[in-house]
Amino acid sequence: MRYFFLAYAIVAVLVVGILGFRGQHFSKPPIQVFPDMDNQDKLKAQAPSSFFADRQGARQPVTGTQPLGFNESGKKELGGIPEYEFGGQTGYYYTGHVGDYYGTGMPDELGVNTTETASELIKRGKERFAIYCGVCHGESGNGAGITSRYGVPGIANLHEDRFKSPAYPDGRMFEVISVGKGMMSGYKANIPVRDRWAIISYVRTLQAAKEAATAAK
């Protein structure tokens, strides 16, 4: 028992000696076993900074830049590039719904009324589909993208009849892209509303192309 108290006292002295008393302040930086990202060159709100000549940490925006979502002219454009909307409004364009039902067809807001504007939208959709959907659904939409080889199960083959119009309205696809379904997560935070419609127009093109190719055989 004597040895136990002795060992206990030694351990206690060691712990306090190394870690210090609770609340004690040190002038030297602490020993960091895993520094993680504790020390970085960054600006802190309201704090001074030795980096700038005027020693102010809080900076004015760089001349010529515009905060995201701020547009003085009222036009949905930022520096000549269409401003992106991610939803939050009501109506078919933003929800895919018409009343209690899924709507179908391309909404007027897209401004697609000529062959040229339509092919532009599809082209945009092709690019976005390759970026956001192809990894799982495959470049052709057959559900055999790269992730299926690494174990993502049950990826939908978009060429199945149940995903074609009119059985599967455009508004329903809009909702799936936005909020996801089952194993697929939603992309409403990543893909702007207009691009979601562009992707749908491209998926419809893929489906029609496959049908035409099958019919020609």
Main-chain dihedrals φ then ψ at residue 102, nearest 5 degrees: -75, 135
Comparing CB distances to ligand HEC, the nearer of 110 and 135 is 135
Is 159 in contact with 210 (CB distance < 8 Å)?
yes
Helices 170-179 and 193-216: angle between axes, nearest 10 degrees: 130
Comparing CB distances to ligand HEC, the nearer of 59 and 181 is 181
Check binding of 110 to ligand HEC (CB under 6 A). no
Is 107 in contact with 194 (CB distance < 8 Å)?
no
Is 145 in contact with 137 (CB distance < 8 Å)?
yes
Q: Candidates 106, 112, 133, 206: give the one binding ligand HEC (CB under 6 A).
A: 133
Instruction: Characterize 147-162 residue by residue with b for buried, 16 or more Cβ atoms within 10 angstroms of its Cβ, and e for exposed.
Output: ebeeeeeebbebbeee
Check binding of 76 to ligand HEC (CB under 6 A). no
Select the span of 46-54, 56-64, 107-115, 178-186 touching ligand HEC (CB under 6 A).
178-186
Comparing CB distances to ligand HEC, the nearer of 78 and 136 is 136
x/- contact string, 47-66, with ligand HEC (CB under 6 A)? --------------------
Nearest alpha-carbon partner for 111 in 201, 173, 208: 201
Shortest Å distance, C-beta 103 to ligand HEC: 15
Could you tell me which residues are beta bridge partners of residue 180? 185
Distance of CA 171 to the CA centre of its chain: 21
Comparing CB distances to ligand HEC, the nearer of 20 and 105 is 105
Comparing CB distances to ligand HEC, the nearer of 49 and 147 is 147
Size of the site for ligand HEC (CB under 6 A): 22
x/- contact string, 136-175, with ligand HEC (CB under 6 A)? xx---------x----x-xxx-x----x---------x--
